[in-house]
Amino acid sequence: MKEFIIEENEAGQRFDKYLAKLLKEAPKSFFYKMMRKKNITLNGKKATGNEKLLAGDHVKLFLSEETFEKFTGNTEVSRAYCDLDIIYEDSDILLINKPAGMLSQPADEQTPSLVEYLIGYLLKKRELTEEQLKTFKPSVCNRLDRNTSGMVCAGKSLAGLQMFSELFHDRNLHKYYLCLVKGVLTEEKHIKGYLHKNKKTNKVEITGEFKEESLPIETSYRALGSNGKVTLLEVNLLTGRTHQIRAHLASIGHPIAGDSKYGEEEFNRQFRKMGAKYQLLHAYKLVLPQMDPPFERLSDRIFTAPVPELFYEIIKKEHLEEKYNENLEGNMGICQNDPHSGRSGYAD
């Protein structure tokens, strides 16, 4: 017999959903049959599976050791270890300054992503146990392109994951980016279009008119300063589509510096000479709305992720440092945990 006590991160879900995570190799018909025969009970009683779990509930599985091991399968969850650049952390959420070059979410089995680093971080802090990972997995709640740096939101608890999921779904938070683009821009502008993704090339096309399977996009920006050749922009991502900022700005003739996919080779060459391996695009600010309990502590909070050191060095070389500090009100420090600076955020 196996007994489990429901914890806060497992509460709030249906009993059958919990069992599907615990006995992930079992067909649903198996644990419904076991509930009917009272081989699986909830608080000592017969269950149907549609019960909503509460913290402290007792689950008992009257199964042989062989059957339990067969249906739980391999419970090993991938994890990796590195020093994360934490912007904010509490019992429910984490805000992380992701370096360019790191995946936000798993893409293959060989390359660790921020999700694996998050799990490794929480295990090391003993805020997460191997037992808890069987039925709950902390994760990131938004994705940045691998070669884009900056703010990523993560949920440490089920409540934190659900809160961010709702905010992103309803677009009730605001995300701002900094980028260096070709040409001169001097105003604030709200641009619209349609985005069509080519799955074979993993590139997107921006058009002014709707095409089959295209999605509407909206991007707004304001110019922070220009030296006559390049412009430092603050971009507000109004719709979060694949490669939206990079492709949308390139479509109006202002590609992002260092962008090998949507940029211009000749324009990028000068930034490679300065050491830029990735596009100079950084998710630097998150603005949260008025929040209901239990997250009222986060109401109207503004969080900023310092730009990577190399990005700032290029801003200085392009003589945009004064505009950068003036327009951002001096609230942006420099990230000291950046792979370009020799203080890498990756594990050795």
Give me the DSSP letters along 264-310.
Answer: -HHHHHHHHHTT--S-SEEEEEEE-----TT-GGGTT-EEE-PEEHH
Helix, strand, coil % in the chain, rounded to nearest 5: 25, 30, 45
Look at residue 58 in the predicted model and tell me its pLDDT. 95
Q: For residue 139, list its beta bridge partners.
A: 155
CA pair distance 147, 276, nearest whole angstrom: 11
Q: How many CB atoms lie within 10 A of CB 292?
A: 9
CA pair distance 158, 221, nearest whole angstrom: 34
Number of H helices, E strands in the chain: 9, 17
CA pair distance 256, 250, nearest whole angstrom: 7
CA pair distance 139, 99, nearest whole angstrom: 17
pTM (2 decimals)? 0.83
Q: Is 27 helix (H, G, I), strand (E, B) or coil?
A: coil
Q: Going by DSSP bridges, is the β-strand pair 174-182/230-237 parallel, antiparallel, or unpaired?
A: antiparallel
CA pair distance 12, 14, nearest whole angstrom: 7
The per-residue pLDDT string of the chain (348 residues; one tens digit each, 9 = 90 and over) reads 899 999 988 898 999 999 998 998 999 899 899 999 999 999 999 999 999 999 999 999 999 988 988 898 766 778 899 999 999 999 999 999 999 999 998 887 778 999 999 999 999 999 999 888 888 899 999 999 999 999 999 999 999 999 999 999 898 999 999 999 999 999 899 999 999 988 888 899 999 888 888 999 999 999 999 999 999 999 998 998 989 999 999 999 999 999 999 999 999 999 999 999 999 999 999 999 999 999 999 999 999 999 999 999 999 999 999 888 888 764 555 554 443 333 333 232
CA pair distance 260, 121, nearest whole angstrom: 32
CA pair distance 37, 32, nearest whole angstrom: 9
CA-wise closest residue to 320 among 150, 181, 189, 177: 181
Q: With contact defined as beta carbons under 8 Å apart, do 312 and 334 qualify?
A: yes
Tokens of 330: 């001096």
Q: Find the helix or strand (DSSP H, E) in which 195 lies.
A: strand 188-198
306 preceded by a cis bond (ω within 30 of 0): no
Q: Going by DSSP bridges, is the β-strand pair 40-42/149-155 parallel, antiparallel, or unpaired?
A: unpaired
